[in-house]
Amino acid sequence: MKARKAQATGIATFIFVLALFMLVYILLLPEKDRQDLLDIKNETSSSSEETAEGQQNLLYTSPGQVYTSEKNELNIPINSVSLFAKTEDTVNELATKITVSKSWFSDKKEILTFKIDDPEVLEKLQLFFFVNSGEGMIYVQFNGYTVFEGEISSSDSPISLPLDRAKKTNLITIGMSSGDFAGDKYSLSSVAIKQSAKSEKNIEGRTFQLTTGEKAGLKKASLTYFVNCAKVDPEAQGDLSITLNGKELLTERVFCDAGTQVHTLSSNYFAEGRNSLEFKINKGEYTIEGIEINVETRDKYYPQYNFELSDEDYEATREDGDKDAYIIFKFPSKEDRKKAAVTINEYQVSFDTQEDSYERKISSYLERGTNYIKIVPKLSFEISSMKVYVTDSEEED
């Protein structure tokens, strides 16, 4: 019995040592050989957006199953909008320490220079300083205009400077107004200028399209969106105004925790073809997201997709530019026939294929700003993904 137990223990030990040896051997193999040995395929995890090297995606979506039958509810997604209207402060030290003095025999003053990038956007301009010591009558001039004169102390800091005297290049002159035989003087330190300037992108527009049939058959419509605030402080919030084709939809105070907003729109606000939606604020910093125009029509419609093309990419994709724009559809298989008409802004292309993808160059069809795409299926089939992208132009031989 003892011999059998010893034999079993020896076999278990041998198996453990062999397994440990094999594990160490596999771990020491190069990654490719290890994957081949274990039959592991290095698959890239699926993501919501495929971006190949050298490409810039303008739109990526998964339309899914498309049908020849239509719907009479049109949901038009609008790209998010970022707006801000705020005051930004910058402080520039003009001098670490200065001394001004005046007597019967001498007059020592200091002239300090500073620049303003854009005087038109200034909201406040202030001179800061600390008085170390001194006595007598001192004066401070801003571009030749006296802004202070008299005895001075640190409590007189800051001195407000008149904005109507501000230039791109500015002079601060500090000197003594009077001095006796022995002379008067002041020692100042940490002399600095604080500029408070407006920084704003307080208005931004988006566009979308309605066909002749959609406009003529429009029964009712609404606008939905929600506002994300950069600061939740109620004192930092302003008013949001929204217009559609120049007609005011609303002007209201921004409430950061208000959730999704829904506003009913009159059919009179819409136009056939291109429609312009404009967002404007007077204060605060916000991102307006989840923007969607919801339209119910008497006529049927096919869904559409919007994307933005920057000025830089628009110029680059022109005939003499160095980039091209493409649209590519991917399908689950090569088994089924896929047939559809695709409207890109005012242009229409079509495909009729059994391949698992369809790609076309669309540079000449694109416009600055908002572009739209509409898919009109001629057969019912599935679209795994639709992508619009910009890439470097291929060199011709």
Query: Are the C-beta atoms of residues 253 and 237 closer than 8 Å to each other?
Result: yes
Asked which of 41-45, 144-148, 160-164, 177-181 is least confident by mean pLDDT, the reply is 41-45
Asked which of 69-73, 131-135, 286-290 is least confident by mean pLDDT, the reply is 69-73
User: Is the pLDDT at 38 greater than 70, yes or no?
Assistant: no
The two tokens of residue 258 are 């208000």
| pTM of full prediction above 0.85 | no
User: Is the pLDDT at 20 greater than 90, yes or no?
Assistant: no
Q: How far is CA 360 from CA 115, 350, 366, in A?
A: 52, 10, 13
Q: To 5 degrees, how large is the angle CA 28–CA 34–CA 40?
A: 150
More confident residue, 210 or 263: 263
Cα–Cα distance for residue pair 174/148, rounded to 1 Å: 9
pLDDT (tens digit, 9 = 90+) per residue, 40-58? 333 333 334 556 677 899 9
Work out the pLDDT band at 6, boundaries 50, 70, 90: very low
User: Is the pLDDT at 37 greater than 60, yes or no?
Assistant: no
- Cis link prior to 234 (omega < 30° from 0)? no
Residues facing residue 329 across a β-bridge: 358, 386
Asked which of 21-30, 70-79, 87-96, 375-384 is least confident by mean pLDDT, the reply is 21-30
> Where is mean pLDDT largest: 228-232, 300-304, 305-309?
305-309
Residue 52, Cβ density class (10 Å: 0-12 exposed, 13-18 middle, ≥19 buried)? exposed
Cα–Cα distance for residue pair 214/219, rounded to 1 Å: 9
CATH of domain 89-199: 2.60.120.260
Neighbours of 10 (CB within 10 A): 10
For residue 63, what pLDDT is reported? 85
Cα–Cα distance for residue pair 282/96, rounded to 1 Å: 38
Cα–Cα distance for residue pair 25/191, rounded to 1 Å: 71
CATH superfamily of 202-301: Galactose-binding domain-like (2.60.120.260)
> Where is mean pLDDT largest: 47-56, 218-227, 253-262?
218-227
Give the chain's mean pLDDT: 84
Residues 6+ apart with CB under 8 A from 347: 362, 365
Domain ranges of the chain: 55-70+304-392, 89-199, 202-301
Work out the pLDDT band at 9, boundaries 50, 70, 90: low
User: Is the pLDDT at 304 greater than 90, yes or no?
Assistant: no
Taking alpha carbons only, the member of 85, 284, 366, 33 closest to residue 198 is 85
pLDDT (tens digit, 9 = 90+) per residue, 82-135? 998 878 889 999 999 989 988 888 888 899 999 998 888 888 999 999 999 888
Cα–Cα distance for residue pair 85/53, rounded to 1 Å: 37
Domains 55-70+304-392 and 202-301 are alike in CATH topology: yes
For residue 47, what pLDDT is reported? 38
Asked which of 79-83, 213-217, 274-278, 315-319 is least confident by mean pLDDT, the reply is 213-217
For residue 23, what pLDDT is reported? 64
Asked which of 107-116, 198-207, 230-239, 277-286 is least confident by mean pLDDT, the reply is 230-239
User: Is the pLDDT at 30 greater than 50, yes or no?
Assistant: yes
The two tokens of residue 37 are 């040995």
Mean pLDDT value across residues 74-81: 88
For residue 241, what pLDDT is reported? 95
For residue 2, what pLDDT is reported? 44
The two tokens of residue 304 are 């559409």
For residue 46, what pLDDT is reported? 35
Cα–Cα distance for residue pair 113/169, rounded to 1 Å: 7
Cα–Cα distance for residue pair 125/163, rounded to 1 Å: 7
CA 83 from centroid of its chain's CA atoms: 9
Q: How far is CA 152 from CA 135, 289, 350, in A?
A: 8, 53, 80
For residue 380, what pLDDT is reported? 84
User: Is the pLDDT at 264 greater than 90, yes or no?
Assistant: yes
The two tokens of residue 74 are 């049109």
User: Is the pLDDT at 310 greater than 70, yes or no?
Assistant: yes
Domain 55-70+304-392 listed as CATH 2.60.260.20 = no
